[in-house]
């Protein structure tokens, strides 16, 4: 290769764009910098990489790692996009022979202290696009202010309230720390808190008791009930949060031991919203109706599935949340981060496994939560301030058995334990919760049999069954206008019985290929409209009140014969039995969802989860992705792939 100049660099970058390695916007950004007077190839390439990383969900790029291992850092060439005509990233960086960080410091397009207005910011050896650096700086400053301002609480009242809400264990279990009780105490004490834990650790169970404790504190002082905002990143997660809180709330209201907390329980109004709906989206804009100058009218904001919050949304949430309100983030820190840039929950919970509680924090929690002394290994008087606001649940109450063992082994990156769990699945009988299907491709008869068996016998997707001998048959021909709502609601609920997940979007093992193949197996064209087609909304539609991730099912109108799509509706259950109908012609951003990516599955659980894995290693196959996909399975997990080498 000849010496890298601006011209040869742009020739290479255009090849990358044409091959699908980078986005057009990445190249356009570099062209903008060149027009602004930046001519050094190493600076332009570093800027390209920062933009590329933002597209992959990362807020910045480590310059030294970029120079030393550009291909692994950038994931170039990307999955299924190898092109022999494209210049290798390593070859480009090798040509520079200079310190890229030094060149960036000298560039007039790079800000090194964050006080300027250049499009790039270099901080601690990491290169940011300015807006992501601004988001990180704002979040850090805002949370620091919230953590420094502790609300007034009545410790004795809180202690007695928690004693009523949480049963004291007997026998050997009395020596166990009740982390749910600790989390309630810690959250009441602080304006900003994080509760993290894996599946089955009781996060929603704790939310109801937390709200009761907060309301009881307020009502005891003779003040009006707290205004509470419940939210989640997706419509499905918001609906699950509402249903879970309603169910647990009804149980507590029927407990005679909690009669003195009746007013506090009655003050809880469970209504989960999506974050977009909570903040109030402005049409055709990235802005929200609620912001620093028009904050939410609320006293408590609780956000579930917080691992899905990206850095831009977190910034908007903090701006809209009043400074004197409590903000509580709840989620599994080990799950995948948002598709968009930023891993907010993961960053906030870094180090939470080891606790790092100050002695003063630990003693207060032990006293008020009336729980055994926190272990010495969780105490660190030099622990960061943010970790005093984080409680990790360390015991699962319902997620046990082989599925949990496999997920936890992967999360610990324990290769020996992971291999052992897979070996158990290989020799187990058909009743074992984990099964392996080693197939050479999606055309393998074993995959077809797996799909047919579950889509026709599990009761989950009755409408998907097609009789090839009678293409005019339809399952709603006997239904009438009065009972179609009930049929639709039951079918929508049954969708959670069986779901195929994929690690990739593109390629022979990607979600598009799987959806196409399942359509072929069922005798339909998966990308056309037909009765029984399951669809997922891929973009928020505020006119239809549909959110990205909402899932609907297609039915034939029994009266007029045209197709309609049924979506769950939590707002007017008494009027429409929990179903809202939309004509297919009004759905402009949807895709068939026999299969969905693991990213899209976050916030959901399925009785039987089938996880399709590619036949080769991929940077996409992180432990977070595998852990997230496996933990979507409640009762049964099937792993499908060629050799299953990636685990």
Is 272 annotated as ligand-binding?
Answer: no
Neighbours of 319 (CB within 10 A): 17
Nearest-angstrom CA–CA distance, 22 and 24: 7
Nearest-angstrom CA–CA distance, 158 and 364: 12
Helices 359-368 and 179-189 pack at an angle, to 10 degrees, of 110
Is 97 annotated as ligand-binding?
Answer: no
Nearest-angstrom CA–CA distance, 20 and 85: 12
Is 206 annotated as ligand-binding?
Answer: no
Is 198 annotated as ligand-binding?
Answer: yes
Burial of 90 (0-12, 13-18, 19+ CB in 10 A): middle
- Tokens for 80, please give them: 């299924």
Burial pattern 594-607, b for ≥16 Cβ within 10 A else e, equals bbbbbbbbbbbbbe
SS3 per residue for 423-454? HHHHHCCCCCCEEEEECCCCCCHHHHHHHHHH
Which of these, 122, 23, 36, 109, lies nearest to 74 by C-alpha position?
23
Is 204 annotated as ligand-binding?
Answer: yes
Nearest-angstrom CA–CA distance, 135 and 186: 27
Question: Positive or negative, the Cα torsion across 334, 361, 182, 142?
Answer: negative
Contacts of 58 (CB under 8 A, 6+ apart): 341
Burial pattern 362-388, b for ≥16 Cβ within 10 A else e, equals bebbbebbbbeebeeebbbeebeebbb
Is 199 annotated as ligand-binding?
Answer: yes
Nearest-angstrom CA–CA distance, 381 and 450: 54
Residue tagged 């993961």 (tokens) = 346
Is 47 in contact with 120 (CB distance < 8 Å)?
Answer: yes
Which of these, 44, 48, 61, lies nearest to 17 by C-alpha position?
48
Neighbours of 261 (CB within 10 A): 22
Edge to edge, what strands does the sheet with 595-597 contain? Answer: 434-438, 633-641, 606-612, 498-502, 595-597
Which of these, 191, 193, 194, lies nearest to 148 by C-alpha position?
191
Is 39 annotated as ligand-binding?
Answer: no
Is 295 in contact with 322 (CB distance < 8 Å)?
Answer: yes
Helices 203-220 and 235-253 pack at an angle, to 10 degrees, of 60
Is 372 annotated as ligand-binding?
Answer: no
Which residues define the annotated binding site? 197-204
List, as residue ranges, the binding site for ATP: 197-204
């Amino acid at each position: 290769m000849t010496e890298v100049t601006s011209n040869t660099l742009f020739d290479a970058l255009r090849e990358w764009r044409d091959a699908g390695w980078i986005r057009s916007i990445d190249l356009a950004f570099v062209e903008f910098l060149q027009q602004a007077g930046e001519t050094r190839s190493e600076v332009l390439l570093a800027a390209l990489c920062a933009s590329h990383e933002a597209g992959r969900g990362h807020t910045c790029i480590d310059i030294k790692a970029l120079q030393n291992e550009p291909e692994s850092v950038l994931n170039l060439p990307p999955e299924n996009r190898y092109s022999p005509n494209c210049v290798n990233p390593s070859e480009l960086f090798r040509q520079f022979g200079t310190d890229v960080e030094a060149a960036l410091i000298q560039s007039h397009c790079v800000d090194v202290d964050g006080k300027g207005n250049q499009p790039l910011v270099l901080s601690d050896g990491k290169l940011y696009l300015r807006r992501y650096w601004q988001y990180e700086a704002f979040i850090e400053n805002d949370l620091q202010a919230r953590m420094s301002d502790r609300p007034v609480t009545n410790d004795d009242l809180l202690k007695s309230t928690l004693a009523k809400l949480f049963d004291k264990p007997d026998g050997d279990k009395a020596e166990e720390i009740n982390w749910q009780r600790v989390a309630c105490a810690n959250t009441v004490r602080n304006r900003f808190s994080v509760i993290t834990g894996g599946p089955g650790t009781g996060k929603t169970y704790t939310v109801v008791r937390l709200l009761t404790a907060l309301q009881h504190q307020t009502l005891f002082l003779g003040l009006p009930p707290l205004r509470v905002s419940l939210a989640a990143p997706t419509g499905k997660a918001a609906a699950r949060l509402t249903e879970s809180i309603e169910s647990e709330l009804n149980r507590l209201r029927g407990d005679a031991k909690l009669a003195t907390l009746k007013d506090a329980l009655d003050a809880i109004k469970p209504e989960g919203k999506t974050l977009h709906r909570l903040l109030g989206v402005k049409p055709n804009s990235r802005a929200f109706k609620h912001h620093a100058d028009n904050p939410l009218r609320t006293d408590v904001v609780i956000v579930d599935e917080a691992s899905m919050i990206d850095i831009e949304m977190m910034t908007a949430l903090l701006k809209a949340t009043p400074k004197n309100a409590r903000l509580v983030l709840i989620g599994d820190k080990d799950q995948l981060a948002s598709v968009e840039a930023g891993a907010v929950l993961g960053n906030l919970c870094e180090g939470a496994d080891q606790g790092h509680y100050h002695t003063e924090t630990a003693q207060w929690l032990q006293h008020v939560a009336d729980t055994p002394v926190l272990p010495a290994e969780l105490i660190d008087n030099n622990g960061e301030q943010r970790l005093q606001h984080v409680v990790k649940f360390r015991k699962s109450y319902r997620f046990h058995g082989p599925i949990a063992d496999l997920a936890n082994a992967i999360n610990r990156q324990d290769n020996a334990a992971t291999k052992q769990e897979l070996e158990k699945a290989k020799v187990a009988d058909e009743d074992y919760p984990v099964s392996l299907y080693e197939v050479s491709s999606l055309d393998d008869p074993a995959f077809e049999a797996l799909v047919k068996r579950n889509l026709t016998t599990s009761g989950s997707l009755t409408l998907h069954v097609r009789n090839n001998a009678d293409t005019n048959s339809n399952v709603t021909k006997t239904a009438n206008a009065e009972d179609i709502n009930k049929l639709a609601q039951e079918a929508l609920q049954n969708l959670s019985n069986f779901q195929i997940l994929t690690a990739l979007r593109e390629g022979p093992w990607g979600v598009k290929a799987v959806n196409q193949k399942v359509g072929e197996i069922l005798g339909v064209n998966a990308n056309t409209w037909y009765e029984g087609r399951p669809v997922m909304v891929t973009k928020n539609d505020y006119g239809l009140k549909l959110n990205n991730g909402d899932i609907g099912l297609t039915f034939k109108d029994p009266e007029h014969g045209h197709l309609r799509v049924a979506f769950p509706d939590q707002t007017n259950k008494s009027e429409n039995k929990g179903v809202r109908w939309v004509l297919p012609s009004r759905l402009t951003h949807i895709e068939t969802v026999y299969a969905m990516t693991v990213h899209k599955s976050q916030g959901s659980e399925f009785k039987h989860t089938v996880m399709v894995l590619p036949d080769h290693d991929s940077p996409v196959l992180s432990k977070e992705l595998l852990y997230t996909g496996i933990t979507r399975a409640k009762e049964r997990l099937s792993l499908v792939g060629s050799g299953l080498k990636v685990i």
